[in-house]
Amino acid sequence: MLQTRNMKKVYLTEEVETTALNSINFSVADGEFVSIMGPSGCGKSTLLNILGMLDNPTEGEYIFLDEEVSRYSERQRAHLRKANIGFVFQSFNLIDELTVYENVELPLLYLKYSAQDRTKRVEEALEKMQIMHRRNHFPQQLSGGQQQRVAVARAVVASPKLILADEPTGNLDSANGDEVMKILAGLHEIGTTIIMVTHSPTYAEFAQRTIHLFDGHVVTENIQRVFHV
């Protein structure tokens, strides 16, 4: 599905040059579940932003669905991103002024789905995430676990080929964190490709393999032997 080749990301200010990623080489196959771990500031979120085409690398190549996208314009990246990638964030990133239903529907509006298709897809996603009973509520009326269920529903509503999850359990207690991980594992079981940044070794084991970053480098890669369902 995707591959990076000697990928590097450098941030420049007037006085400082900071290398966030350096010579990153790895690939993710269609249908894989991969976790990314490492200490704060090691480049995990930067890597996820580039994989999600929210940013471009400074050097190197990023190949997504057989397209070399590292030098794509923002418009080109946005088109490819909207059609193929769903995001789940630690802070949920729901729009407070929209209901649960409207938040989940939003990606389908951008993709110009018909009203009938939007209704069908949103209701299916809400049912799958067991949050249909809250469809007319606003985010601030929900618990953290419920908000993350809505965020996952929004991420999957357009049936993306890839889900990028940035610390999806970071703002949740252990019970709600476990539930979110079971949801992600279930999505993987039906063939969705998932890349997840996490600080939790326990949750990393839900993935098939774990990539460890340190100071912007891939330092180790572990293949998990135990799968959670």
Residue spans of beta strands (DSSP E) within the chain: 2-12, 17-28, 33-37, 59-64, 67-68, 85-89, 162-166, 193-197, 209-214, 217-223
3-class secondary structure, 172: coil
3-class secondary structure, 51: helix
Quick one: DSSP state of residue 227?
-
User: 26 is written with which tokens?
Assistant: 């790895």
Q: What is the pLDDT of residues 177-201, one digit of tens each?
A: 999 899 999 999 999 999 999 999 9
Cα–Cα distance between 192 and 69 in angstroms, integer? 21
In this prediction, residue 204 carries a pLDDT of 94
Average pLDDT over the chain, rounded to an integer: 92
Q: Which residue has tokens 């350096």? A: 22
In this prediction, residue 229 carries a pLDDT of 44
Distances (CA, A) of 48 to 5, 12, 94, 117: 15, 19, 19, 30
What amino acid is encoded at 82 in this protein? K
Q: What is the pLDDT of residues 118-158, one digit of tens each?
A: 999 999 999 988 899 999 999 999 999 999 999 999 999 99
Contact 42, 214 (CB under 8 A): yes
What secondary structure does DSSP assign to 107-170, as a single string?
A: HHHHTT--HHHHHHHHHHHHHHTT-GGGTTS-GGGS-HHHHHHHHHHHHHTT--SEEEEESTTT
Backbone angles phi, psi at 134, to 5 degrees: -110, 15
Contact 190, 182 (CB under 8 A): no
Name 215's bridge partners. Answer: none
Contacts for 115 with CB less than 8 Å, ≥ 6 apart? none
What amino acid is encoded at 36 in this protein? I
| Residue ranges of the chain whose pLDDT lies below 50 | 226-229
**Rg of the chain over all Cα atoms, to the nearest angstrom:** 18
In this prediction, residue 223 carries a pLDDT of 78
In this prediction, residue 14 carries a pLDDT of 79
Contact 24, 221 (CB under 8 A): no
